[in-house]
Structure 1
Amino acid sequence: MHDQSRPVVHEPSRTPVSVLLDCDTGIDDALALLYLCSQPHVELVAVTSTPGNVDADQVAANNLALLQLCGRGDVPVAIGARAPLRIPLVTTPETHGPQGIGYAELPTASRAPEARGAVDLWVEAARARPGELTALITAPLTNFALALRAEPRLPELLAGVVIMGGAYYYQGNTTPTAEWNTHVDPHAAAEVFAAFAGQPEERLPIVCALETTERIEMHPEHVAALAEAAGCAAPELVLPDQPEGQRSTASNRLVKHVSDMLRFYFEFHRHYDQGYVAHVHDYFAASVAAGTARYAVRTATVHVEVDSPRLIGTTVADYRELWGERPNARIVSANHPQEAFAELIGSLASLARTVG
């Protein structure tokens, strides 16, 4: 029996990276997208839209609006699947709001999604630029599973893959054992991990699961620090004793929208007895894809449960080859929240000063 669980540490870097983002925007997806737009060394090749937090059309509308806010009308936005592979779609208006972006009211984008679908866009991009593109998926894995069906060589064509999803020997946030993204489309997740079995270690997906993403816990003081760093005219106070639904009056547009998104997210977490906080899972995954995070990973064989009604969407990691199966993932085992928030606040503040 071989113990493959010794952590491998990755240090931050600003090496240029080209990212294909698939998301289900979502407040924390929105932060992830804004963060990627704020990084000069990140080429955002395309943003594709998977149903999850909201339906696929609303996801695409959010992505287009956020890119317009950042002055990034050059980034293609496409819609992929409109439902999970085998089970009905379940969305989360209670978590992210009816439009997926909390209380924020973004101007409608002046352009529409691409005529071609997400899968075609991903496959064409990966074939055109072999070994150059990093896939970042902060949504259910539906579109990625369909892309792997269309082009089984994607594990070799992509430079890397980062996935936000799963919970390993850690309490789920949707059922007692299952994390949201994986629970929405467990069959897609199972297909994705199966597709990577036996790949060289450096090609295995890096998985940002709940045990590390819930450590990236945003507090009201982070919003205040963002507004101050962005040069807002007045302090931005998002506080637990304020009326629910209060709207930001920040002098900076980006700060105002981020504040309105996060207030909703803070309130949601408080309603579920987690405190006036926000777990910004997808930002952490974006920082891993961008190369700006310090973290450690452990190689594992991941199983996604798809048959048991009570355990559907549960992810289990074999770190010691007890199943005798080939590894298919590298799971993040350590991260650094204080560093993560210093990075996020500084970077978003710089973007906010640019867009006004």
Structure 2
Amino acid sequence: MKLIIDTDPGIDDAMAIAYAAAAPDIDLIGLTTIFGNTHVHQSSRNARFLLDKLGLDAPVSEGAPWAWETDGHAPSEHVHGPEGFGDITEIPQIGSNHPLAAAEYLVDQARAHKGELVVCAVGPLTNIADAMRLDPQFASNLNRLVIMGGAVFCRGNITEHAEANIYHDAKAADAVFASPPDTVLVGLDVTLKTLYETADFEALAERSVEMGGFLRDISKFYLNFYKDIGGLEGCGLHDSTAVIACTHAPMFEMVETGIRVVADGPQAGATLPDADRPAIRVCRDVDGAGVVELFTERVATLP
């Protein structure tokens, strides 16, 4: 399966990219970057660093620096650290970005791999909405869009109503759901059922000394956030779960419904079922233990 991950690395993004690199059923052809956990220039630097660390020769195309109708963004430093990788702050600049901006690159690749390309968006949906604006055929050229975002049947994580990726550009997200490609939504409804605990990271690092050790080290900051805020002994495999949904749909229980996103006000970013919108597949349950096991088994094959 040909895959592009639209990403804002980010600790859980790094885990998802590592999984995609290790998965034998995924051909990771590129990364597009977005603001979110970090500023977009940090996202791009981190993405290039990860690809180099993984030994992958794939392009990184930089996307939107902030949400529609805004002119700035405050990253989630309290969740992912000041540079996106927890307590690790010295991250080298490796290589350079692809000459095309993310929306143009997505449109170009969807045309080049018509009917084959899956895009997994694990940050705000601005790049996806921009690609849909740029090319009316973009949605139909994709094989599928898989989104890590939303909280359709549960509470949000950035507000009571909203999940962070959707909240950070609610207007762009609503535009995507108004006329979506073939879409799977992998939200907090399932990703919080895939907890990865300290012992899991330690076991992974024993088997994958370099990459697993790196993920263990950057996760400590992230795990402390989960413990302090939610009293949890692990972190959700949010972005990795979405990547796994790209190839392992039977591990998920899905329902079909249209989705509307509240654009502003106290419920901004809420993902609400809407029968008048085109139906997408929304994940409602998951084999959480199976996702955790699959993640470990595949990432453990990396050096």
Equivalent pairs counted in the alignment come to: 302
Q: Larger RCO: Structure 1 or Structure 2 (Cα < 8 Å, ≥ 6 residues apart)?
A: 1
Q: 1:5-154 to 2 correspondence within 5 Å?
A: 17-72=1-56, 74-87=57-70, 88-104=72-88, 108-154=92-138
- Contact 1:65-1:106 at 8 Å conserved across structures: no
Task: Give distance in 1, aligned partners of 2:249 and 2:187.
Answer: 18
**2:214 is matched with which residue: 230, 233, 257?**
257
Task: Give distance in 1, aligned partners of 2:112 and 2:37.
Answer: 31
**CA separation of 1:191 and 1:326: change in aligned 2, threshold 3 A:** closer
Tell me what 2:293 maps to. Answer: 342
- Contact 1:299-1:327 at 8 Å conserved across structures: no
Alpha-carbon offset, residue 116 of structure 1: 1.6
The percentage of counterpart residues that share the same residue type is: 29
CA offsets per residue over residues 216-248 of structure 1, 9 Å max, x none? 111112112213333xxxxxxxxxxxxxxxxxx
Q: Which sits farther off after the overlay, 169-178 or 184-193? A: 169-178
Alpha-carbon offset, residue 106 of structure 1: 6.7
**1:208 is matched with which residue: 173, 186, 201?**
186
C-alpha RMSD over aligned residues: 1.5
Corresponding position: 1:310 with 2:266: yes
CA offsets per residue over residues 142-197 of structure 1, 9 Å max, x none? 0000000001112210011100101113111001111000110000100000122x
Which structure: larger Rg?
Answer: 1
**CA separation of 1:292 and 1:317: change in aligned 2, threshold 3 A:** closer
Tell me what 1:244 maps to. Answer: none
| Structure 2 residues not aligned, in runs of 5+ | none
Tell me what 1:227 maps to. Answer: 205
- Contact 1:167-1:314 at 8 Å conserved across structures: yes
The residue type equivalent to 1:281 in the other structure is: H
Task: Give distance in 1, aligned partners of 2:244 and 2:279.
Answer: 22
- Contact 2:83-2:89 at 8 Å conserved across structures: no
Report the 3-state secondary structure (helix = DSSP H, G, I; strand = E; otherwise coil) of the residue aligned with 2:110.
helix
Report the 3-state secondary structure (helix = DSSP H, G, I; strand = E; otherwise coil) of the residue aligned with 1:36.
helix
Structure with bigger helix share is: 2
> 4+ runs of 1 displaced by more than 4 Å?
none
Task: Give distance in 2, aligned partners of 1:166 and 1:274.
Answer: 21
Corresponding position: 1:278 with 2:235: yes
Tell me what 1:158 maps to. Answer: 142
Task: Give distance in 2, aligned partners of 1:76 and 1:317.
Answer: 36
Task: Give distance in 2, aligned partners of 1:80 and 1:207.
Answer: 21
- Contact 1:78-1:117 at 8 Å conserved across structures: yes
The residue type equivalent to 2:271 in the other structure is: T
| Structure 1 residues not aligned, in runs of 5+ | 1-16, 197-202, 231-251
Task: Give distance in 1, aligned partners of 2:260 and 2:54.
Answer: 38
